[in-house]
Amino acid sequence: MDVHVVVITGAGSGLGASLAKKYSDLGCHVCLLGRTQTKLIRTAETLSHNHSIYEVDISSKSDVAKVMQLIKEEVGQIDLLINNAGVGIFDLTENLSEESIHQMIDINLKGTIFCTQEVLNDMKKRNQGYIVNIVSLSGKRGKAIESVYSASKFGARGFTESLAIELEHTAIRVFGAYMGNMKTELWGGASSEDTFMEPDDVADVIMESIKPRKYASVEEIIIKNNKDKY
C-alpha cells in the first residue's frame, strides 16, 4: 500500500488511536487530529515513527481548511484520510437539546464532508489516494435513543456511497466501515461490556480490508461482535 502520510480525525482515543499506532508501526507519518491536545499527546507517545499533532474543530470548515493546508506545507501530500471523529448523545428524541443535535450533525456528518473536501483536489490531481469513513452500524439501521445519532450516520453513509460513485473512474478509493459497539469513550460506562469489540481488532480488520488488490477491492465492511443482531 503506497501510503506515506496518514491523517486521522478523532485520533485522541479509541479506534483513532489504534489506527494511528498501527500505521505508525508501518512507517507512515501519522497526523493526529482532534479537539483535545492532551489526548492527542497521549496517543503520540505510543507512536514509533514521525507524527504531527493538530488541534482542530472539524465542524468548522475554515478551521479544517487551515489545518489541511498546514499539513501539506509541513508534512506533504495526504495519501490516506480516515474520517474517524464522532460524537454520540443518546436519549429519547424529545429530550435531545438543540445543542446536542447540532453537535452530532456538525461532527459526524459535516466534519466528514469538510475534511474530505480538503483532500479531494490534490488526490484528483495525482489520481491516487484513500478516503476511509468510519460510520458505524447506526448508519445501516435505526435504534431507540439513537435517532439523531443514526440520522447523522445515515447521512455519512449516503455521502460515502455517493462519493464512491463520483470517483469510480479514478484511482481514488473510498471505503466505509460499519461496526458495532466498541470499548471506547463514546459508550461511556458501557465500555466494560464483555461483548464489546476491542478497537485494535477493528483497526486490524479495516486496515486489511483497504489494502489494494489487483483484481478486487472492498468498498464497505460490516464489523460486529458475535452477539450483535444485524
Q: Which residues are catalytic?
A: 149
Q: Which position has the grid cell 459526524?
A: 108
Q: Give the orientation angle of helix 147-166 with respect to helix 111-126, to 10 degrees.
A: 10
DSSP state at residue 230: -
139 three-state secondary structure: helix
Q: Name every residue whose Cβ is closer than 8 Å to that of residue 86 and which is 6 or more positions away in sequence.
A: 10, 107, 108, 134, 136, 186
Q: DSSP character for 96?
A: -
Q: How far apart are CA 15 and CA 26, in angstroms?
A: 17
What is the maximal distance between C-alpha atoms in the chain?
50
CB 20 within 8 A of CB 11: yes
C-alpha cell recorded at residue 160: 460515502
Give yes or no for a contact between 1 and 33, defined as CB atoms under 8 angstroms apart.
no
Euclidean distance between CA atoms 100 and 128, whole angstroms? 37
